[in-house]
Amino acid sequence: MPRNSRAPLHVHLNLNVRGLNPSATLEINEMSNRLKREGREVFKLGLGQSPFPVPEQVVDALRRNAHQKDYLPVRGLPALREAVSAYNMRYNKIESSPDDILIGPGSKELIFILQLVYYGDLIIPTPSWVSYFPQARIIGRHTHWVPTSEVNDWRLTPEKLDLICRNDPDRPRVVILNYPANPTGSTYKLERLKELAEVARKYKLVLVSDEIYGQIHHNNQHVSIARFYPEGTIISSGLSKWCGAGGWRLGTFTFPSSLRWLHDAMAIVASETYTATSAPIQYAAVAAFSESPQIETYLVLTRKILKFLAKYLSTRLEELHVSFPAPLGAFYLFPNFENYRDRLKQKGIFTAEEMCDRLLQETGVAMLPGSDFGRQPEELTARIAYVDFDGSEALRALSGEYADTPLNGRFVSKYCPRIVKAFDRIGDWFGSL
């Protein structure tokens, strides 16, 4: 039969997939690249991708291991699982054995498989990273969005979590807590983590602590909630953010030994789906997770740049009179343009999505609406990923020109000019409404 005489394939789509769109972060990236190819000037503040290069010694390790061709154990290369377990102790003071580690092709895939094997509701605060909810929907799990408030920097409170669990205390639930947070850049104080851990213990929640941005806490003060709820916390992390290797696709889960049954079930699904994570990438990742002064320096410098940029851009947003949580980690800002609601209305703009679309059309600045992160469509929040700069050049400047000089506005203009220009355009656009 000729290919095009068949019924359209979408007729046969699984109902859980029907109607879904491609993930917002990847779609904005592809759309920005398309506009660029068409000759438009685009400022890529949409996709949350590290601006920094993969550290040289990790790239070298990948080069040296390009010949690795065998399938590796489903749960991961033993040397890598050892390195991750030692890294957990070094950076997080978390005791784990190599047997507690599961390596996957990105933490996104691991989070998906966890939701698949664990039969429970998904509990996430709004706003949350774009993919948790669609994953639950694809699998057919119920999602419970926990409301948060702006005065609380959009963070989950123990009271709200308790309120959700209270009326059916034995219901199986997975809570995903992500800090430093995508999309806000904010994080949790120690006291708050302890309180949340208490609620999690009370209801025996499976807690996925998504710490993919842990290493880029701007003050290097990230603390894992696994310290306070060790028996029920799975730490999710990987190479994508702190190591600048999103495209390498390597994620890690660290389980408590009490959840070995969940680890085992995930490994079965892994064995029937992706088999094992790419061998050369796993060998190279051993170098990334092993102790090294060069990687330590790389982290110190990348944090320093992100922290300064966050401070500089916060001042720019304050000049616009928008509210936003103080950025403490990662590379995101989450402003609320509520003050512009009346003026936006006069332009026929009523939702955050319309606001972002028009901003992109009229200024070339790409950012994502709060609605992609579970906020109400009419709330005028948006995520800015301040990553459109050459991280290699910026790092070189910190080892040369800025080795003994504190970072300043000149540094930002010289090494992050596209971000400065994007913020000029954002300022002009809102200013001219």
Chain residues binding ligand GLU by CB under 6 A are 23, 25, 47-48, 108, 129-131, 182
How is residue 426 written in tokens?
Answer: 């954002």
Whether 137 and 16 have beta carbons less than 8 Å apart is answered as: yes
Least separation in angstroms between residue 176's CB and ligand GLU is: 13
Residue found by looking up tokens 């304050």 in the block? 318
Residue found by looking up tokens 């749960």 in the block? 75
Least separation in angstroms between residue 285's CB and ligand PMP is: 12
Query: Cβ closer to ligand GLU: 164 or 385?
Result: 385
**Nearest-CB residue for ligand GLU:** 48
Whether 370 and 334 have beta carbons less than 8 Å apart is answered as: yes
Least separation in angstroms between residue 82's CB and ligand GLU is: 27
Query: Cβ closer to ligand GLU: 129 or 289?
Result: 129
**Nearest-CB residue for ligand PMP:** 106
Residue found by looking up tokens 């940029």 in the block? 309
Residues that bind ligand PMP (CB under 6 A): 48, 106-108, 129, 178, 182, 210, 212, 238, 240, 246, 251
Query: Cβ closer to ligand PMP: 96 or 178?
Result: 178
Query: Cβ closer to ligand PMP: 229 or 332?
Result: 332
Alpha carbons within 13 angstroms on the beta-carbon side of residue 128 total: 23
Least separation in angstroms between residue 212's CB and ligand PMP is: 5
Query: Cβ closer to ligand PMP: 278 or 339?
Result: 278
Report the candidate in 243, 192, 189, 193 with the shortest Cα–Cα distance to residue 213.
Answer: 243
Question: Which entry of ligand PMP, ligand GLU, none binds 233, CB below 5 to 8 A by partner kind?
Answer: none
How is residue 373 written in tokens?
Answer: 């992160």
Least separation in angstroms between residue 286's CB and ligand GLU is: 24
Query: Cβ closer to ligand GLU: 25 or 96?
Result: 25
CB proximity list for 358: less than 8 A, separation 6 or greater = 347, 349
Report the candidate in 251, 249, 241, 384 with the shortest Cα–Cα distance to residue 299.
Answer: 241
Q: How many CB atoms neighbour CB 201 within 10 A?
A: 15
**Strands, E, within 294-344: which ranges?**
332-333
Least separation in angstroms between residue 130's CB and ligand GLU is: 6
